Amino acid sequence: MVQTIAFAIWAVIVLAILATYGYFAWSARTPLDGEEYYKAVARLRRPLFIVLVLLLAATLALTLPRIPYPRRDIVPDRVVHVVGKQFSFAVSEQPITTDADFARAIGERVRLPAGALVEFRVTSRDVNHGFAVYDPEGHLLGQTQAMPGYVNRLLMRFDKPGTYHALCLEYCGLAHHAMRGTFEVLASEKLARR
């Protein structure tokens, strides 16, 4: 949804830019004497500046309250540990601090209840990776970086049951494109029956 809105806004602005450039280039086909025409365009500077400032300020006001960084006081329903290592993500509900933990977690299939607030604690054991969560239809829902020496907290809520995949979105070497992690989201009652 966010992607579509962003694309649509960009496309509308592109059309406006193309039309503006076309109009001005076309106007050069009928050259007129004097500097009045130059001054007429120069007089647009102040109104254009005001309009752009208002637009950008409104966008800031609309988007800044929605930034994805977690507040310290938020308590998640579930905590999931994620560690990136060339070239896979280990996803586990247990902490992953050693290579043995990593190997164990690679085989683990995490199951999360739909609608729960999940906190991913994301880090790396070698280079930078990008932990990007894709829904079962292949839409990118959100991401954070997996960085050695740091833990990034990513809060997400999954409403739709299904198998979710994490792809790496920070170039990390030869098999970067093959790096992935997986977890499942189950309807709450189905999870309770397990």
Partner 1 sequence: MAVSTSLQLEQTPAERLRWQSVTLAWTSLLFVLFPVLASLGLFMRAYQANLFPRLDPAWFYTAMTLHGLGMVGLWYTTSFAGMAYLVARYVRMKAGVMWLSFTMTLAGVVLLLVACAVRFSPGWYFLYPLPFKSGGTWPAWATDVFLATLLVLGVAWILWILHLLWAIAHRYALSQALCWHYLRNATQPEVPPVVLVSTVSGIASLTALLAAVILLVFLGLERLLGIPADPLLMKNLTFYFGHTLINVAMYQGVAIIYELFPRYTGLPWKTAKPMVIGWNAVMVLVMFAFFHHLYMDFVQPRAVQVIGQIASYSSALPAAVVTILGLLAQVYHRKVRWTLASVLMFAGTMGWAIGGTAAVIDSTIVVNFRFHNTQWVPAHFHTYLLIGLVLIVLGFTAHFTQEVSGEPERSRISKAIATLWLLGGYGFVSLFYIGGWHSVPRRYAGYPREVAEGSLYARLALMLVLPLILALLIYIWEVGKRWLAAYAAARRPS
Contacts of 153 (CB under 8 A, 6+ apart): 70, 119, 120, 121, 122, 144
Three-state secondary structure of 38-53: HHHHHCCHHHHHHHHH
3 binds partner 1 (CB under 8 A): yes
- Report the site for partner 1 in 80-99 (rule: CB under 8 A): 86-87
Q: How far is the CB of 52 from partner 1 (least distance, A)?
A: 6
Query: Using the rule CB under 8 A, which residue among 64, 75, 100, 192 binds partner 1?
Result: 64
Query: Using the rule CB under 8 A, which residue among 76, 93, 117, 128 binds partner 1?
Result: 128
162 binds partner 1 (CB under 8 A): no
Interacting stretch for partner 1, rule CB under 8 A, among 49-57, 90-98, 108-116, 185-193?
49-57
The Cα–Cα gap between 121 and 79 comes to 7
Contacts of 65 (CB under 8 A, 6+ apart): none
**Residue 121: strand, helix, or coil:** strand
User: In the 8-state DSSP scheme, what is residue 136?
Assistant: T
103 binds partner 1 (CB under 8 A): no
Residues counted in the chain: 194
154 binds partner 1 (CB under 8 A): yes
Query: Using the rule CB under 8 A, which residue among 104, 114, 180, 191 binds partner 1?
Result: 180
- Report the site for partner 1 in 24-43 (rule: CB under 8 A): 24-25, 27-28, 30-32, 35, 37-38, 40-42
